[in-house]
Every structure is written in C-alpha cells, then in structure tokens.
Amino acid sequence: MFKINSIKIALIIFTSVVFMSCQSKKQKDIGAIQIDSTAVLLLTKEAIKKIGSIKISKDIKVGGYFQFMDSVVEKYDTLVPYALSEHLLVRNNPWIIDTLANTDYYRMMARDSFVYDQKQMIVLPKDSELILPDSITACRILEEFATTEIDVNIPEYKLRIFQDSVLLETFPVRVGQYRERYLKFGDRVTDLRTKTGEGTIVRHAKHPDFYNPVNGKRFYVTRRDDGKTTMMPQIPWIETEINNIRNGQMIHPTTNPKTLGKAYSNGCIGLGEGDAWRVYYYAPLGTKLKIRYDLETYDEGMVISVLRDVYHLSDNQ
C-alpha cells in the first residue's frame, strides 16, 4: 500500500511540474519564462499514451471544423498536464494544416476541381486520428510559439515567419493602397496605407462576416481571378495590435491572388488562401509581429536590391 501511494504521489508531483511549466507559457509575456525541460519525466508521456489517439467518428467539413476542434480541446484539456489548445493540437498533427491549405480554390482548380462552397469540403475524414502531444512535445511546441515572430516588409510584399531568428517560411502578400478614401466603416476619410510598427496577435476571427468597407454592405460571394463566382471561404482572419493600437488592421486571405505583390487593399495584409491557413497556425494569441518599411534588402550584410518606394516616403526626407 505504501509503495502504491508513493507512486501516486510521485505522479502527482511530476505532472504538476509539467503543468506549471507549460501553463506558464500561456501568460501574455510568453517569452519571459523559460521551461526547464529536464523536470519533465517520461512518466507523463506514458500516462498520455493511455488516453490513446482521438478517433474521428464522422466526416468533419470546413464549416464545422472549429466547433469540432473546440469540443476536442474542451474534452481533453482536463486530462493532460498542460494547457491544451487548438494551435497546440494541430501543430502536433501537421497533416491537418496541409489538408486545410489544400482547400485553396486555385489549388483545387489546378486539379480540375471546381469548388463553389469551400465550407462543404471534408478536412477531417471519418476514422482519421488526432494524436495528443506528450508533455515533452507540448512544451517544445509552446516554446516554439514563444519564440516565433511574424515579419512583414511592405515594399517587398513579403510576410516571413521567424523562429529564434531562423527563417522558416516566406509568403507573398498584398498591402494597403497609397491613397486616402472614405470608408463607411469608420465613417471618415481613411489613410489606406498599411501601418508600420511592432505588436502582437490579439484576436482570431474564425467565422468572419464579410462587408465592403467602402459602402458597409455585407456580401457572401466573390468573383475569382478566373471569372467564376463562389461562396466566400471560411478561413480565419488574424487581428493585430500595432504600437499598442488596434486599428482594424488584419492579416487575412484574399480570393484574388492576382493582387498579391501589389498595394491593393484598404490597409490589411492579404495572403493566398492556402498560405493564410499556414500563417494562422504559426500565430496563436500573443505571437510577436513586426511590420516594417525597408527599401533595401540585405544578404550577409550587403545590399542586394533596392525596392520601389510604393508609399513615396523618400519624397518627404
């Protein structure tokens, strides 16, 4: 009896250490606290194995994807010794990101498959499985989130993902136009240029509604670059806070990739549909963000190109 109780006490102590280590990364300043991974023992790894994989009992479509994932997180969060989240679970099952990215209208058209309503596409097939991360893996992924930064260079029309200053991904984007325009949203003349500065990701709009910012009218369909009309896809929009100000500047998908590489938007940063899914899963709440306006690009300390001054900022110098 004493031996059994000792084992139980040890399990409680070790799982508590893991829980506190991983849970601390959920604080706003997630980069300020270091994880002592040596305190994490394989005992918790074996405990999670007993839960087994999560088998999906029916086909899950894009339209019900977030509701399903929220239900999984709610159910299993109390059974694991760390703070389970959608981002953490999906990063441990990267095939989900690939599947979501492949719902991109233009990728489907390249396969001769026209999709009118992306929300009806199956992304989690029946009998597929989700694997819960063990404690060591969970802490590693949380540490990766803590050291991730999204970097946007406006005149370069590029969004980059860095982790510990190592470049992981580069995506083409569109940015705000070089002009002012009256927008019904805000009811004023607005500078449409994308704002520069540093900040964080503060909100995810997983079920976005679509309004024309110029006239305020809601819309449900979009005309594609090939002239075809489809329903608007369900892809998360990412809200930013720059220089401690939330000015409505979002990172979101565009249904017209011909506009990428241009100053075309009303201030938001636009991505291709597939790329928007990938950026979303690099960007849990609190992720660091930098939006800059650098005309010179460097390689090994040398200027390799000078970009066009799309906002004519050099004219004011």
Strand partners, 297: 305
SS3 state at 277: helix
88-113 pLDDT, tens digit per residue, is 999 999 999 999 999 999 999 999 99
Indicate the residue among 100, 120, 143 that finishes a domain: 143
Is the same domain home to 36 and 88? Answer: yes
Rounded to whole angstroms, the Cα distance separating 12 from 277 reads 37
Give the percent of the chain with pLDDT over 90. Answer: 78
Is the same domain home to 185 and 134? Answer: no
Is the same domain home to 127 and 158? Answer: no
- Which tokens sit at 193? 């240029």
151-164 pLDDT, tens digit per residue, is 999 999 999 999 99
SS3 state at 66: helix
Is the same domain home to 165 and 253? Answer: yes
Is the same domain home to 34 and 95? Answer: yes
- For residue 34, what pLDDT band results from cuts at 50, 70 and 90? very low
Domain count, the chain: 2
Rounded to whole angstroms, the Cα distance separating 136 from 29 reads 21
Q: How far is CA 179 from CA 134, 190, 258, in A?
A: 51, 8, 20
Task: Give residue 141's pLDDT.
Answer: 98
Rounded to whole angstroms, the Cα distance separating 124 from 104 reads 16
Is the same domain home to 168 and 41? Answer: no
- For residue 315, what pLDDT band results from cuts at 50, 70 and 90? confident
Indicate the residue among 81, 115, 143 that finishes a domain: 143
Is the same domain home to 67 and 155? Answer: no
212-255 pLDDT, tens digit per residue, is 999 999 999 999 999 999 999 999 999 999 999 999 999 999 99
Is the same domain home to 192 and 304? Answer: yes
Q: Looking at residues 199-214, what average pLDDT do you find? A: 97
Is the same domain home to 108 and 57? Answer: yes
Rounded to whole angstroms, the Cα distance separating 178 from 136 reads 48
Is the same domain home to 88 and 195? Answer: no
By CB atoms closer than 10 A (0-12, 13-18, 19+), residue 102 is middle
Which residues constitute the domain of residue 80? 2-143
Is it the case that residue 36 has pLDDT exceeding 80? no
- Which tokens sit at 194? 């994308």
Does 252 participate in catalysis according to the annotation?
yes
What CATH number has the domain bearing residue 173?
Answer: 2.40.440.10
Least Cα distance to 41 among 11, 20, 8, 76 occurs for 11
Predicted TM-score (pTM) of this structure:
0.86
Is the same domain home to 204 and 286? Answer: yes
Is the same domain home to 32 and 71? Answer: yes
Give the percent of the chain with pLDDT over 70. Answer: 83
Is it the case that residue 28 has pLDDT exceeding 50? no
Task: Give residue 101's pLDDT.
Answer: 99
Catalytic residue from among 139, 207, 268, 312:
268
| Cβ 35 vs Cβ 142: under 8 Å | yes
Indicate the residue among 143, 173, 195 that finishes a domain: 143
| Cβ 226 vs Cβ 110: under 8 Å | no
At residue 180's C-alpha, the angle toward residues 280 and 214, to 5°, is 65
Task: Give residue 301's pLDDT.
Answer: 74
Q: Looking at residues 43-57, what average pLDDT do you find? A: 73
Does 87 participate in catalysis according to the annotation?
no
Task: Give residue 14's pLDDT.
Answer: 43
